[in-house]
């Protein structure tokens, strides 16, 4: 029996800046599309409650693994809120959504002025879905990997009432601060 042919990654080092930027943009967009169709398919076949439950499980693990990988690939040695902000700035979902990240004394605030999944649902007349538990799991997994002392608190997230210019808002602080 012969092994299947390997498919090595392209020689990214030989690509010029423009090609790398276009490919990175494609990857981030494809990441969002995959996530959207995954959720829509689960919702269609198993209902919104099961889609939300599975989303929470998946994103809890994705947050943890992403932070671990980012620390290793980008040599992020800082812990605490500084390490959290550095790693979060490289997280694809930060770029996709356009998180507004504000570092304040003793805490970091993340605001989401426009949430692509929620906005797409509203455009299609589907209404918002409850995403607080999923993001709580995602942010806790991500934060815990950077520094287990980081506490995560949600000020509001769908299905909570929220201002028209902000879907959700999260606060991160160090335990005991």
* CATH number for 133: 3.30.1380.20
Examine residue 5 and state whether it is found in any structural domain, yes or no. no
Please tell me the predicted confidence (pLDDT) of residue 4.
Answer: 64
Structure tokens at 115: 């949430």
User: How would you write the pLDDT of the chain (177 residues) with one tens digit per residue?
Assistant: 666 667 788 888 999 999 999 999 999 999 889 988 999 999 999 999 999 999 999 999 999 999 999 999 999 999 999 999 999 999 999 988 999 999 999 999 999 999 988 998 899 998 999 999 999 999 999 999 999 999 999 999 999 999 999 999 999 999 855
Burial of 77: CB neighbours in 10 Å, binned 0-12, 13-18, 19+: exposed
Our count of domains for the chain comes to 1
Please tell me the predicted confidence (pLDDT) of residue 55.
Answer: 93
> Do residues 80 and 149 touch, judged by C-beta distance below 8 A?
yes
Please tell me the predicted confidence (pLDDT) of residue 42.
Answer: 94
Examine residue 7 and state whether it is found in any structural domain, yes or no. no
Structure tokens at 74: 């980008």
Sheet-wide strand order for 150-156: 100-104, 107-112, 168-174, 150-156
Cα(159)–Cα(106) distance, rounded to whole angstroms? 28
Examine residue 3 and state whether it is found in any structural domain, yes or no. no
Examine residue 63 and state whether it is found in any structural domain, yes or no. yes
Please tell me the predicted confidence (pLDDT) of residue 175.
Answer: 83
Examine residue 14 and state whether it is found in any structural domain, yes or no. no
Please tell me the predicted confidence (pLDDT) of residue 166.
Answer: 96
DSSP structure string for 124-174: TT------HHHHHHHHHHHHHHH-TTEEEEEEE-TTS---TT-SEEEEEEE
Domain hosting residue 41, numbered range: 20-174
Cα(83)–Cα(79) distance, rounded to whole angstroms? 4
């Amino acid at each position: 029996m012969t092994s299947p042919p390997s498919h090595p990654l392209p020689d990214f080092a030989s690509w010029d800046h423009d090609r790398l930027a276009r490919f990175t943009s494609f990857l981030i967009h494809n990441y969002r599309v995959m996530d959207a169709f995954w959720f829509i398919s689960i919702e269609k076949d198993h209902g919104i409650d099961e889609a939300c439950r599975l989303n929470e499980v998946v994103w809890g693990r994705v947050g943890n693994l992403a932070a671990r990988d980012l620390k290793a690939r980008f040599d992020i040695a800082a812990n605490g809120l500084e390490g959290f902000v550095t790693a979060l700035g490289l997280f694809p979902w930060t770029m996709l959504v356009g998180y507004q990240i504000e570092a304040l004394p003793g805490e970091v605030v993340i605001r989401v002025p426009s949430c692509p999944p929620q906005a797409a649902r509203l455009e299609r007349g589907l209404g918002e879905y409850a995403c607080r538990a999923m993001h709580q799991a995602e942010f806790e997994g991500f934060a815990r990997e950077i520094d287990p002392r980081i506490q995560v608190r949600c000020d509001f997230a769908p299905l909570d009432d929220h201002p028209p210019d902000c879907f959700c808002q999260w606060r991160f602080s160090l335990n005991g601060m």
